[in-house]
Chains A and B, each alone.
Chain A
């Protein structure tokens, strides 16, 4: 490893170094940087080192260490960047959530409870799930067997919030369910399950969808019956939008499907169709769904007093937080992003980064997300089987869309949707699901870069050859 001069790449798998030491070195940074941030917040707020410093450092170090050892042992050729990047975001997220816990203004809100300890617990569970994925999922192609079970599971998960007594309506969106004392966002888990379904389904159907088409005005138009699946997914997205009034999840699933469809069939026409359909869907729903209409109004004119009276001033507060941060930010613990009030530490947490770490900090965070996505797409490129490619690109595409939709929403680039920034926002479902997502990506990249001879032919892959119409 030390003598190696090749750059870190998941392509060119044969003879590739495992890069585990690179990962370890990066992980040290990923633990030390949040630790410094934690120290910084404590000094800024109370003038002394936070009492939980040692515990937090050890805890985060331990989690990262366990994750690293498991990767070293069970996925030695996995991508070396994903784990440190996710750890860094998770660690910084914990610090910023803890920082918002210290805000007197948020403490005075009804139902306030400290979020950081919970988030630390969720992170531990998330990393446990990550470890579980790597331990139990020896080969990602196993997931292919569960294509249709995944579909059922995904639909079940998405419908859960609508079940009376289980689902909760929080500020107009029905995307949570309450089990025991915990509120869960099933959509976060559905994201992964549905990617498995799409990957399995498209792998089987890709040839039919790609080849059987008519050419019209330079575009390959699919046959009517092949339009079926995209119509079904489209309808599902619209239903989510209408019944759960959740623009984000709706956009996420449809976007993910279009991306995977495009990759599977290599037909640009699907993109055109996808864009058209999401345009029609969005405009259609926005014109009669008051919740969505309000979001659009708030996006167009966040400082308008009528809009604020109708909705809330969250977007305006968020924009002012970003603006007040300026280039370098006010410094951790020294901003006033608690003015955002509700959801300051979840959907709007990026505004705190904007105010306290400034343009520089937010750009760094966005680039870390960009890196995670690009490592995911590289994994897809390197994967040798179509299922792995589709799953990897589906998961990374969903991740990218989610980041875009949330960050774009809080920065006023697009209408706001109720989703959380992966890893940095408070919320158990989000952290746990995203750790599982990273686990799956690591598994795929490990398989892709493993220098062993090509894995045994997959029975399901053979099937596709046979079923070709």
Chain B
């Protein structure tokens, strides 16, 4: 009987071997997938097991943690002035999960990041509790306040402001907003609050500054102007352009209309931008053709998602168009659509003499003891135009503010360049148009701020809606806030 016994011994050995192999598969090969599985409650438990690290603006925390009595979660997230900062922070809710910075930098905030491993091990030996690290943002509290307060009085809208020389995001506001504190915990009541916010038709939880694309309207004309100069269509901004009035779009019998009776016939580039001529820029787009327009638009960041590190939706400049559509796209209509961040990037590239810096909002990651474990260094993203052309475009935009549609953004003693936009939307433009304003301020030491403001669905009547009237004052306040904080 010994031969079968030996075989049985081998068989039992194989059973154990199968278990060992399976165990290695589970706990080694698949370990990370399972440990971070979306259903794995350990992730939120871990996240709220100790006070979470903070998100910092201008040296002050805009978040906090509060001890709660719960079965799983010891601490819940609190937010200071949540509605104002929610487009920056996102939320960290025990019930719902985390988004945006709270989610992306979760490992730092919980103290689980690999770069904190040594420290964590040391703490374990000395018996200290694990602590979360901090996320230091680039935001400017004054600018953010100016942006949020400005929007709040005007209904829905968004503001994005960037430091053109580095790409650092200075303000990121969106209204209507929500308070992430209101559903940070794990109670049914908080879940209900979240449900209500989620279903709200005004979409308070939409981060309009990064995630909503609007037709940019006339503000897009600065991109078209940049394309015209970069591709050598026009070189002198004070030379007359070949622009008939009325101008019929190619391959059609439809004339492109201007807003009102403005002097657009053969207007110079400067003049055309000042009074916002659809005919001039429509014709430029049409003359350049879709490929050249697309090339310039993409250099500015269109058709590409941005990660700041929060994801921003890709702005759109259409790739397939016929000639009249190209003309319309070049004045920010047809399918052209941009996020406020995108238009702020366009403005910042112009203000930074043609160099587009990669936008970012996390300046550094700190260990719990405030040691810097990662520091963001500004990166160049692209060079949409030459320095010379950028300066010409600045000149044009300054004219818009000084004596054109953007006079509401004037700041005494500071050079300001800007462009208004009024984008139509709705079937046959039945809905209130979007009011846009993009601008930058410039001092002797370069430009500290570029800003894009969009106000949508305002209750004001149609006639009052124009970038200059609604959006420009907000942009001005944001720029002033940045300039003042530099002093």
A residues adjacent to B (C-beta < 8 A): 104-105, 108, 259, 262-264, 266, 303, 313, 316, 319-320, 322-327, 336, 339, 354, 358-359, 362-363, 366-367, 369-370, 373-374, 377-378, 380-381, 386, 389-390, 393, 396-397, 400-401, 403-404, 407-408, 411-413
Given A320-B39, A362-B23, A404-B18, 5 further pairs, Cβ under 8 A: A105-B71, A108-B71, A324-B34, A366-B23, A370-B13
Q: Report whether B6 and A381 are in contact in the complex, using a CB–CB cutoff of 8 Å.
A: yes
Contacts of A369 in B (CB 8 A): 16
CA distance A94 to B438 in the complex (A): 70
Does B31 interact with chain A (Cβ within 8 Å)? Answer: yes
Binding site for A on B (CB under 8 A): 1-9, 11-13, 15-16, 18-20, 22-24, 26-28, 30-35, 37, 39-42, 45, 71-72
Known A336-B45, A373-B16: A389·B23 in contact at CB below 8 Å? no
Give chain A residues whose Cβ lies under 8 Å from the Cβ of B27: 322-323, 325-327, 354, 358-359, 362
Bound form: Cα–Cα A104–B7 in Å: 47
Chain A residue with the shortest CB-CB distance to B24: A359
| Total inter-chain residue pairs, C-beta < 8 Å | 137
**A313 cross-chain contacts in B, Cβ below 8 A:** 39
Chain B residues, Cβ within 8 Å of A408: 18-19, 22
Smallest CB-CB separation from B15: which chain A residue?
A404
Q: In the complex, A48 Cα to B12 Cα: how many Å?
A: 42
Given A336-B45, A373-B12, do A323 and B5 touch, yes or no (CB 8 Å)? Answer: no
The complex places the Cα of A264 from the Cα of B1 at a distance, in Å, of 7
A259-B8, A336-B41, A393-B8 known; A370 vs B24 contact (CB < 8 Å): no
**B22→A411 contact, CB < 8 A:** yes
Are B37 and A323 within 8 A (Cβ)?
yes
Contact between chains at A322 and B15 (CB < 8 Å): no
A263 to chain B, nearest CB (A): 5
List 18 contacting pairs A-B, 8 Å CB cutoff, sorted by A.
A104-B71, A262-B8, A263-B5, A266-B1, A266-B3, A303-B37, A323-B37, A324-B42, A326-B32, A336-B42, A339-B42, A354-B23, A366-B23, A367-B20, A374-B9, A400-B12, A408-B22, A411-B19
How distant is B323 from chain A, measured CB to nearest CB, in Å?
51
Q: Is the CB of B40 within 8 A of A320?
A: yes
Chain A nearest CB from B327 CB (Å) reads 50
Q: Which of A319, A373, A381, A411 contacts B5 (CB 8 A)?
A: A381
The residue from B4, B15, B45 contacting A400, defined by CB atoms under 8 A apart: B15
Residue of A324, A378, A411 near B35 (CB, 8 A) is: A324
Main secondary structure of the interface of A (DSSP, over half): helix
Q: In whole angstroms, how far apart are the Cα atoms of A10 and B245 in the complex?
A: 108
Q: How far is the CA of A105 from the CA of B73 in the complex (A)?
A: 12
Do A322 and B23 form a contact, CB below 8 Å, given A303-B37, A327-B31?
Answer: yes
Which residues of chain B are near A354, meaning CB under 8 Å? 23, 26-27
- Cβ-closest chain A residue relative to B17: A370
Closest chain B residue to A328, Cβ basis:
B27
| Chain B residues in 8 Å Cβ range of A393 | 5, 8
CB-CB nearest 7 A-B residue pairs? A323-B34, A359-B27, A370-B16, A400-B12, A404-B15, A377-B9, A413-B22
A38 to chain B, nearest CB (A): 20
Given A108-B71, A263-B4, A363-B23, answer yes or no on A316-B31 (Cβ-Cβ < 8 Å).
no
Inter-chain CA distance A362–B39, complex, in Å, is 23
B72 to A105, Cβ gap below 8 A? yes
CA distance A316 to B9 in the complex (A): 32
Q: Is the pair B19, A366 in contact by a Cβ cutoff of 8 Å?
A: yes
- The residue in chain B whose Cβ has the minimal distance to the Cβ of A396 is B12
Question: Are B1's CB and A389's CB within 8 A?
Answer: yes
In the complex the two chains form, is A381's CB within 8 Å of B4's CB? no
Q: Which of these, A303, A326, A381, contacts B2 with CB under 8 Å? A: A381
Residues on B with C-beta less than 8 A from A104 are 71
Task: Provide the residues of chain A in CB contact with B24, threshold 8 Å.
Answer: 359, 363
CB contacts (< 8 Å) of B9 on chain A: these are: 374, 377-378, 381
Task: Determine the residue in chain B with the shortest Cβ distance to A43.
Answer: B127
